[in-house]
Amino acid sequence: MRFITGVIIALVAIECPALTKIACIGNSITYGANLSDPSSQSFPGRLQKMLGTSNYSVQNDGVSATTLSKNGDNPYWRNGKLPQVFAFQPNIITIKLGTNDTKPQNWENLGSGTQYKRDYLALVDTLAAMPSHPKIYLVLPVPVFSNPTAVSWGIRDSIIQKEIPIIKDVAAARPLTVIIDANAPLKNFPQFFKTDGVHPDSSGQDTIAHVVYRALTAPVKLAVPGPSRELMAGTNPSIIKTSLEKITFQLNLSGKIKEITVYDCSGHLLRKLATVKQNVSLTRDFGLSRGVYIIKTSVSRSNQI
C-alpha cells in the first residue's frame, strides 16, 4: 500500500491579498496573436479562468512587436501599456519580453544584450516603485522554431538562449520573486508554433498559462534566500528549515521507506532518493536558479525497516 503527499515550494515568500490584481506585460505572444479569441485563449485569459474571478483580476497588457530595449524598433516603454499598468495598480506583474529584441537591429545594433539588460533592470525598478508595490515575476521567452516567417522577421532562438542568462542576472540583482520558465516546457513542441515558428497556438498558450499558474499559486511560504530560518509550513511533509542551498523537512512516519522526488515547475525530475530518516535535508544543485519546485514523497507500508 502506497500513498503520496506533495508540496510545491518556492524559494521566496508568496502572499496573496484577498483580491489580487495581475498585470501581464509582454509582446504579441502575451497578447495572443494568431488566436481566434485572444481574450480567452491567450495565457493571461487562460490564467484568469484558472484562477477564477472571485479573488483574481488578470489584465492582458501584451502589445504586438514591442521590445524591452528603449531604443528598439518598437519599444514597450513608448508603445506598450505602461500607463494602463500603472492605472491598474497590480499586486503581481509578469514580464515576458525579449522575442523581438532578438532581431539584428535590436540586438547587435544595441550592444548584443548590453542595453537589453540595462533596460530590463530599469523596467523592473520603474514597476517596483509604483504605490501597489507589486511582486514581479520574470518569464523566460518561449523558444523560436525554424520557419521562413520567423527568419524573415529576424527573430532567432540563438539569441533567446543568450537572453535567458541575462534575465536570470536581472532577477538576482534585485532580487525578484520567481523566474518563470516558459522556455524549457515548450522546447520539444514545435507543433505548437507551426504557423510562424514564433507564436504559440492555443495549446502552447495553455502550457504557458499552467506554468505561470503553478508559480503564482505555490501554497507554501518559504524564507527569502539567505541564512537558514525557522519555518513551519503546516503541510505533510513539514518543511522546518530552508535556505538557498538546502531544504530540510520532516516525515512523520518513522521506520518506513520514504521515496522523495524533486521536480522543477515544468515537471522535469531533478532529484530522487529513498530514506528511512524522519528529518531529511535536500541540497539542491547550486546551478539551479531560484524558482518553484515540487517535492513529492511516497511511503510504502509494506517495506518497514
Q: Residue 173 pLDDT more than 60?
A: yes
Q: Where are the domains of the chain?
A: 2-11+223-304, 20-216
How many CA atoms, within 13 angstroms, populate the side-chain half-sphere of residue 292?
27
Q: Pairing state of beta strands 279-283 and 56-62? A: unpaired
Q: What is the pLDDT of residue 279?
A: 67
Chain segment 98-144, per-residue pLDDT in tens? 999 999 999 999 999 999 999 999 999 999 999 999 999 999 999 99
Q: What percent of the chain has pLDDT over 70?
A: 68
Q: What is the pLDDT of residue 23?
A: 98
What is the assigned CATH class of domain 20-216?
Answer: alpha beta
CATH of 2-11+223-304, one of 3.30.160, 1.10.1220, 1.10.150, 2.60.40: 2.60.40
Q: What is the pLDDT of residue 276?
A: 76
Give the model's confidence band at 207: pLDDT under 50 very low, under 70 low, under 90 confident, else very high. Answer: very high
Q: What is the pLDDT of residue 126?
A: 96
Record the pTM. Answer: 0.68
Radius of gyration of the chain (CA): 20
Q: Residue 288 pLDDT more than 80?
A: no
Q: Residue 95 pLDDT more than 60?
A: yes
Distance between CA atoms of residues 294 and 65, nearest Å = 35
Chain segment 219-272, per-residue pLDDT in tens? 433 333 333 332 223 334 454 454 545 556 566 656 677 777 766 555 567 667
Q: Residue 97 pLDDT more than 80?
A: yes
Q: Taking residues 62-87, report their average pLDDT.
A: 97
Q: What percent of the chain has pLDDT over 90?
A: 61
Give the model's confidence band at 11: pLDDT under 50 very low, under 70 low, under 90 confident, else very high. Answer: very low
Q: Residue 68 pLDDT more than 70?
A: yes
Q: What is the pLDDT of residue 251?
A: 62
Q: What is the pLDDT of residue 256?
A: 72
Per the prediction, the chain carries an average pLDDT of: 80
Q: Residue 27 pLDDT more than 60?
A: yes
